[in-house]
Amino acid sequence: MPTPAKPKPSSAQAKAIQKADTLIEALGWIRKFRDTTTVIKLGGSVVEHPDSLRHLLLDIVFMSTLGMRVVVVHGGGKAISRAMDRAGITPRFVQGRRYTDQATLDIVEQVLATELNHDLVAKLEEYGGRAMSLNFLSTNVLFGERLALDGPGGEPVDLGFVGDVTRVDRLTIENLTYAGQVPVIPSMAITADGQKLNVNADTAATAVAAAIGAEKLVILSDIPGVLLDVGDPESLVHSLSASEARRLIAEGTISAGMIPKIEGCLDTLERGVKKIHVIDGRLRHSLLLEIYTTSGVGTELIRDDALAAAALESATATR
C-alpha cells in the first residue's frame, strides 16, 4: 500500500513550523545553561535606545524564566553627561575615564545608581520578571578603593573619585539569583571608610563575573563583535580562543578602540570566567540569538583550556 503523501502546510502553518524548529534548536542550549550564571554588562549606548532596551530586558526575563541565573551590571554615561550639562558642568576625561569631582559624583549617584537603576528594575518587573536594585539605597555589593594610574612619565594621575572594585558581596548576589530574582547593579563602589566611587562599567561587570564564578559574561555595546574587516559586517568572527585573539591584536586585525575592550575580555577569562560574548545590543533579541542559537550574532571569546576541554568532550561523544 503506498505511503500517503504528506500534506502541504499553508503559509501560516509553515511559519508556525519554522518557529517550532527554532524552539527545538534552542532546546539543547536551554538544557545546557539552566542553573548556570550569566552576567550581562549593559552599556549606556544601549540604554539610550528605548526599543532596543525593551527587547533586551524581555530577553533577560525570558532567560530567567528558563532557569538561567542572570545578573545585570550597568553604566549610563550618556545620561550622566546630559545631567552634567543641565548642571553646567563640563565633562572631563582622563585616559578614557570620566574625571569625577564631588559635584560629578553626586550626579553619577543620582542618575546612575538611583534613577536609572530603579528604572531598569521597574521595567524588568513590568515585563514579567523579578528583579532587585542593589545600590546605596538598598544593599550595596561593590566595594573598592580609589584607582591609581600612572601618566606618560610615571607620575600619578588624578582621576578624582574614580575607583576599582576590590571586593564583591557574592553571597547577596547569589541568594537573589537562587531565588529567581535578577540583581541589577550600578557601576559604583564604596571604600572601607565610606567614600563612594565612580567605577567603569566593564570593570565592575568583570569583577562581578569573576567573583560569582559566572559561566558567561555578555557585553552589550554598539558594536557587533570582532570583524576581520571593519568595513564588512559579514567578516564577523563568531568564536575566538584567547590565543587567537592575542594573535589578531599582534597582527593589527583587532585595532584602535577594540584593543582595550578585547584585552579586558582576555583579563576576565584569566580570572576564571569561561566565556565572554561581545554583541550589538541594538539588534532585536540579540541576547537570545547569541545564547540560544548555534551560530550566534556576536563574538564569543573562550579560554584556551575551555576550548581544549570542549574539543575533548566532542571527540569522546562521537566515539
- Stretch among 97-111, 220-234, 240-254, 276-290 having the lowest mean pLDDT: 220-234
Distance CA 176, CA 70 (A): 10
C-alpha distances in Å from residue 292, one per residue of 53, 217, 233, 285: 19, 15, 21, 11
Place of cell 574625571: 99
Q: What is the pLDDT of residues 191-227, one digit of tens each?
A: 999 999 999 898 899 999 999 999 999 998 888 888 8
115-173 confidence digits (pLDDT tens): 999 999 999 999 999 999 999 999 999 999 999 888 777 788 889 999 999 999 999 99
Mean pLDDT of 16-34: 85
| DSSP SS3 for 111 | helix
Cα–Cα distances in Å, from 267 out to 106, 162, 270, 277? 31, 20, 5, 14
The overall average pLDDT reported for the chain is 88
CA distances from 288 to 4, 12, 61 (A): 38, 24, 11
Number of residues in the chain: 319
* pLDDT bucket at 230, cuts 50 / 70 / 90: confident
Q: Is 70 helix (H, G, I), strand (E, B) or coil?
A: strand
Portion of the chain with pLDDT greater than 90, in percent: 54
Query: Which domains are delineated in the chain?
Result: 33-317 (3.40.1160.10)
d(CA 188, CA 273): 21
Q: Are strands 93-94 and 97-98 parallel, antiparallel or unpaired?
A: antiparallel
Both ends of the chain: CA-CA distance in Å?
Answer: 39
Q: Answer yes or no: are the C-beta atoms of 168 and 143 closer than 8 Å.
A: yes
Radius of gyration of the chain from its Cα atoms, rounded to whole angstroms: 21
Q: What integer pLDDT is reported at residue 158 of this predicted model?
A: 87
Name the residue with cell 532587585.
Answer: 132
The yes-or-no verdict on residue 271 having pLDDT over 90 is no
Contact 134, 140 (CB under 8 A): yes
pLDDT for 308 equals 45
| pTM for this model (two decimals) | 0.87
